[in-house]
Amino acid sequence: EAGVAQSPRYKIIEKRQSVAFWCNPISGHATLYWYQQILGQGPKLLIQFQNNGVVDDSQLPKDRFSAERLKGVDSTLKIQPAKLEDSAVYLCASSGWTSGGGDTQYFGPGTRLTVL
Amino acid sequence: SQQGEEDPQALSIQEGENATMNCSYKTSINNLQWYRQNSGRGLVHLILIRSNEREKHSGRLRVTLDTSKKSSSLLITASRAADTASYFCATGGAGSYQLTFGKGTKLSVIP
């Protein structure tokens, strides 16, 4: 079974620029999550999708972050404009009933963002 | 704020020794999970224990859960150099499948 795919793996941008991350979840997984992991900390949930609908985006800084999951499969997370404090690893995860039950989340390798 | 707090923050042991990491949390949970993260990579699910379970085993891993103390422990027996990683506990509430992660324990296993 293919895992969660993310791209790019690394991105370096200047502050005030925009950036987008892409995620392709495990086939058949209805739930998709985006996390932000700052160095030395655990992942923090930004947004959760169920199919193509948003379940929870309470911790997403909506003035600069946006995310969508068109057709309930792939998802993109965008930051515009980026700030220095956005430097982090952005992790995508998915969960579903195809394996492991709905509680287990499967993570992609992450995108490491550096904002200069 | 993060739900789980792992203890210790860092742990260094010799290969073959056992490693124990603890996790405390604040609110009631549906399940508690442990994940491993190797340097620069995504998280890998290790084990899930539900709130009505007290102990669970998977290979060299043993997890305990004490809901009265709101705490869990992860024991890795006969550690290997390949176990070097950060270990995170994550708590799950009922119905939403959301997880709240702690800051992690950084384990170093010295060959």
pLDDT in tens, B65-106: 999 999 999 999 999 999 999 999 999 876 667 889 999 999
pLDDT at residue B2, as a whole number: 52
pLDDT at B1 over 50: no
Q: For B48-75, what is the mean pLDDT?
A: 96
pLDDT in tens, A60-91: 999 999 999 988 899 999 999 999 999 999 99
pLDDT mean across residues, chain A: 91
The tokens describing A53, both together, are 């609908």
The alpha-carbon radius of gyration of chain A (Å, integer) is 13
pLDDT at residue A102, as a whole number: 58
pLDDT at residue A8, as a whole number: 97
CB-CB: which of A102, A107, A108 is closest to B97?
Answer: A102
pLDDT at residue B3, as a whole number: 67
Residues pairing with A12 in the sheet = A114
**Rounded (5°) CA angle B21-B3-A3:** 75
Question: How many cross-chain Cβ pairs, A to B, lie less than 8 Å apart?
Answer: 60
Q: Which residues contact A53 (CB under 8 A, 6 or more apart)?
A: none
pLDDT in tens, B15-36: 999 999 999 999 888 899 999 9
Residues in B lying within 8 Å of A, measured between beta carbons: 2, 4, 30-31, 33, 35, 40-45, 48, 88, 90, 92, 96-104
| C-beta atoms of B97 and A103 within 8 A | yes
Q: What distance in Å separates residue A110's CA from the closest CA in chain B?
A: 6
Contacts of B105 in chain A (CB under 8 A): none
